[in-house]
């Protein structure tokens, strides 16, 4: 399975046993955001890859707004500063699907 399939590629285990996983697409989003921002605003570029809000999702996975258009999958989103983070809940895993800047066309 590849980046477009939504297969998680990395995980961080937390004490409460909820795994935070990232898809290749989400990693690609971080790279894209950094490369776009770095020439004009290096500080914002660094902040774009930190996104501390992502690390907090496993503690309260249902805090984000559910996105019904994804059907039976439990896909949610949280807004962190100027970013939208989309993630999916699967069993005891939180899978980061995509990260967008608020001004991006999607």
Average pLDDT over residues 37-61: 81
The chain-wide mean pLDDT, for the chain, equals 82
Segments in 1-106 forming alpha helices (H) = 24-37, 42-50, 52-56
Task: Kindly list the domain boundaries of the chain, sorted by start residue.
Answer: 18-101
Does the pLDDT at position 16 exceed 70? no
pLDDT of residue 1: 40
pLDDT digits (tens, 9 = 90+) for 70-95: 999 999 999 887 889 999 999 889 99
- Name the nearest CA neighbour of 33 among 77, 68, 91, 81: 81
CATH superfamily of 18-101: RelE-like (3.30.2310.20)
Average pLDDT over residues 18-31: 92
User: What does pTM read for this prediction?
Assistant: 0.77
d(CA 71, CA 56): 25
């Amino acid at each position: 399975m590849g980046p477009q399939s939504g297969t998680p590629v990395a995980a961080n285990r937390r004490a409460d046993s909820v795994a935070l996983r990232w898809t290749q697409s989400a990693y690609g989003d971080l790279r894209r955001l950094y490369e776009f921002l770095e020439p004009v605003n290096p500080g914002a570029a660094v902040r774009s890859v930190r996104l501390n809000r992502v690390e907090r999702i496993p503690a309260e996975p249902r805090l984000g707004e559910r996105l019904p258009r994804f059907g039976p999958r439990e896909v949610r989103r949280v807004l962190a500063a100027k970013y939208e983070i989309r993630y999916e809940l699967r069993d005891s895993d939180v899978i980061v699907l995509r990260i967008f800047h608020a001004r991006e066309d999607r």
